[in-house]
């Protein structure tokens, strides 16, 4: 097998003092943090689509990066070259997992039968590579948003034939995910939403999406899929409004349709910020509902209103993410999928390596700092103290749901006007965070 990234080495850990661009400064895979190795805390995944398929095309011009990997684009030879490139890349970076859409793996054919045959062929090829390298599949999904037939969505479409086609794609993508031992199956509702309410029956569409998900669960379980189904919330783009707006909305939807036992959230940083939240907010909402499943690790640009899918760089964000993940006890069937792409002018093979080094180091540093914040204890102690008034008999009664409104009203009269509830000390807490992050 000819080496594709010939001039690029296996990336070593060299520590924060290293000036070697092709070395990790923080990601030291065997280093133990809170009793577990960094590798165990951070199951990193490569997104097939961004890393092996996307060339930097945008609305104003064609791609700048060559991702042919020596084979004619659009052929099965190219599909295999992408597998070769992907596995060499993951091995050189020390990445343990990958994520894929059906049509990232093979070019879509004119018939489902032919596309499915191609998927069988490529997954056989991938399986051999997996056995050789120990690299595993984090999650699979079906691309139900690129082909023009999905212009009105898949589950939300007005066309029963398109709906049927979507079911076929999900079935096959589940077959492939199970064949590759994937730990999760993702629904990102790319076009599950609307452009205008003037032509849309929202209730009808949401019921149909739920029915499609229910069929997927039934089928998945019947073929031995024991992992988690994930919804990946996103408020908009490509549609003006998407039904899985944010974690809270998606969780409400799952509960309404009785899907909450089988589904968790795949939280993407840039989607949370598009919804007007922080990344940490959506992670927290998922976590407190027992639905923090997986993470699409990227970041947006606060000055731009779209999904820029940048590699994670902001260490405050990765620290707060890892704080949520550590407190939730990790991601049993999830991981950190770099749903991120190089900027268009960063078009070389070396840039692909540098981008993952940045992202993996940003998360490793976030993990180190989140663990230090937990060990430091001042944030947790402050929060505990902040609610201390509920620790007494009255608070306990309220928490147990045993108090009545009339009883509390009578007590309030007896007690007279309450004192102010105590300072929130946000500025102090922020200075604690900075001391832990930068105090050496």
Interface positions with ligand XLS (CB under 6 A): 101, 141, 186, 188, 232, 234, 268, 296, 307, 339
Rg of the chain over Cα atoms, rounded to whole angstroms, equals 24
Could you tell me how many residues of this chain bind Ni ion (CB under 5 A)? 4
Percent helix, strand, coil in the chain (nearest 5)? 50, 10, 40
Minimum CB separation from Ni ion for residue 355, in Å? 16
Beta carbons of 338 and 359 less than 8 angstroms apart: yes
**Rounded to whole angstroms, how far apart are CA atoms 178 and 264?**
18
Number of H helices, E strands in the chain: 16, 12
Q: Considering the complex, state which of residue 265 and residue 371 has its C-beta at the smaller distance from Ni ion.
A: 265
Q: Nearest distance from residue 242's CB to ligand XLS, in Å? A: 10
Question: In the complex, which residue's CB is closest to ligand XLS?
Answer: 188
Task: Return the number of the residue (116 or 318) whose C-beta is nearest Ni ion.
Answer: 318
Near Ni ion by CB under 5 A, which window of 135-143, 223-231, 301-309, 356-364?
301-309
**At its nearest, how many Å lie between ligand XLS and the CB of residue 187?**
8
- Looking up tokens 């790319």 gives 190
Nearest one of 142, 190, 146 to 168, comparing CA atoms: 142
The least CB distance from residue 339 to ligand XLS, in Å, is 5
Nearer to Ni ion, 175 or 244 (CB): 244
Distances in Å between the Cα of 6 and the Cα atoms of 1, 85, 92, 429 are 12, 11, 11, 48
Question: Which lies closer to ligand XLS via its Cβ, residue 188 or residue 225?
Answer: 188
Contact 137, 173 (CB under 8 A): no
C-alpha distances in Å from residue 127, one per residue of 43, 83, 179, 248: 19, 10, 8, 37
Nearest-angstrom CA–CA distance, 369 and 323: 9
Q: Is 296 in the site for Ni ion (CB under 5 A)?
A: yes
| CB nearer to ligand XLS: pick between 175 and 232 | 232
Report the nearest approach of ligand XLS to the CB of residue 322 (Å): 20
| Active-site pick, 41, 78, 101, 281 | 101
Structure tokens at 180: 């590759």
Q: State the burial class of residue 46 (Cβ atoms within 10 Å of its Cβ: 0-12, 13-18, 19+).
A: buried
Nearer CB in complex with ligand XLS: 97/188 = 188
Least distance (Å) from Ni ion to the CB of residue 256?
A: 24
129 with 85: CB under 8 angstroms?
no
Residue 268 interacts with Ni ion (CB under 5 A): yes or no: yes
Q: Pick one of 82, 339, 361, 370: the residue that binds Ni ion (CB under 5 A).
A: 339
**41 is a catalytic site residue:** no
In the set 28, 104, 175, 282, the catalytic residue is: 104
Q: Is the peptide bond before 238 cis (omega within 30 degrees of 0)?
A: yes
Q: Binding partner of residue 281 among ligand XLS, Ni ion, none, CB under 5 to 8 Å per kind?
A: none
Using the rule CB under 5 A, is 307 a contact of Ni ion?
A: yes
Binding site for Ni ion (CB under 5 A): 268, 296, 307, 339
What is the set of active-site residues? Answer: 101, 104
């Amino acid at each position: 097998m000819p080496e594709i990234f010939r001039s690029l080495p296996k990336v070593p850990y060299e520590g924060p003092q290293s000036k070697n661009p092709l070395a990790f400064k923080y990601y030291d895979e065997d280093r133990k943090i809170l009793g577990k190795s960094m590798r165990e805390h951070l199951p990193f995944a490569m997104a097939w689509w961004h890393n092996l398929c996307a060339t930097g095309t945008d609305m104003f011009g064609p791609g700048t990066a060559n991702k042919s990997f020596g084979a004619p684009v659009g052929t099965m030879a190219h599909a295999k070259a992408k597998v070769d490139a992907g596995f060499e890349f993951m091995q050189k970076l020390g990445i343990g997992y990958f994520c894929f859409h059906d049509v990232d793996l093979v070019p879509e054919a004119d018939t489902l039968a032919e596309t499915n045959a191609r998927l069988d062929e490529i997954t056989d090829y991938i399986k051999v590579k997996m056995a050789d390298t120990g690299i595993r599949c984090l999650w699979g999904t079906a691309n139900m948003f690129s082909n023009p037939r999905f212009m009105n969505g898949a589950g939300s479409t007005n066309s029963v034939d398109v709906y049927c086609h979507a079911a076929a794609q999900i079935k096959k993508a589940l077959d492939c995910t199970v064949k590759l031992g994937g730990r999760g199956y993702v629904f990102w509702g790319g076009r599950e939403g609307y452009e205008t309410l003037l032509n849309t029956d929202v209730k009808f569409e949401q019921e149909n999406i739920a029915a499609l998900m229910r069929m997927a669960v039934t089928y998945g379980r019947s073929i031995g899929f024991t992992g988690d189904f994930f919804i990946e919330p996103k408020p908009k783009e490509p549609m003006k409004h998407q039904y899985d707006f944010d974690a809270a909305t998606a969780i409400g939807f799952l509960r309404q349709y009785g899907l909450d036992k089988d589904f968790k959230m795949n939280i993407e940083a840039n989607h949370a910020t598009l919804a007007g939240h922080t990344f940490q907010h959506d992670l927290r909402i998922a976590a407190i509902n027992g639905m923090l499943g997986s993470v699409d690790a990227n970041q947006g640009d606060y000055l731009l209103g779209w999904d820029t899918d940048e590699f994670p760089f902001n260490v405050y964000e990765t620290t707060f993410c890892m704080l949520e993940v550590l407190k939730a006890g990790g991601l049993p069937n999830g991981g950190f999928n770099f749903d991120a792409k190089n900027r268009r002018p960063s078009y070389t093979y070396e840039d692909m390596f540098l981008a993952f080094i940045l992202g993996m180091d940003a998360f490793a540093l976030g993990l180190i700092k989140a663990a230090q914040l937990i060990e430091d204890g001042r944030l947790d102690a402050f929060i505990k103290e902040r609610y201390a008034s509920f620790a007494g008999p009255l608070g306990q009664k309220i928490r147990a749901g045993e108090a009545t409104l009339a009883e509390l009203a009578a007590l309030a009269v007896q007690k007279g006007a309450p004192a102010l509830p105590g300072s929130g000390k946000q500025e102090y807490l922020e200075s604690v965070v900075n001391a832990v992050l930068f105090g050496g």
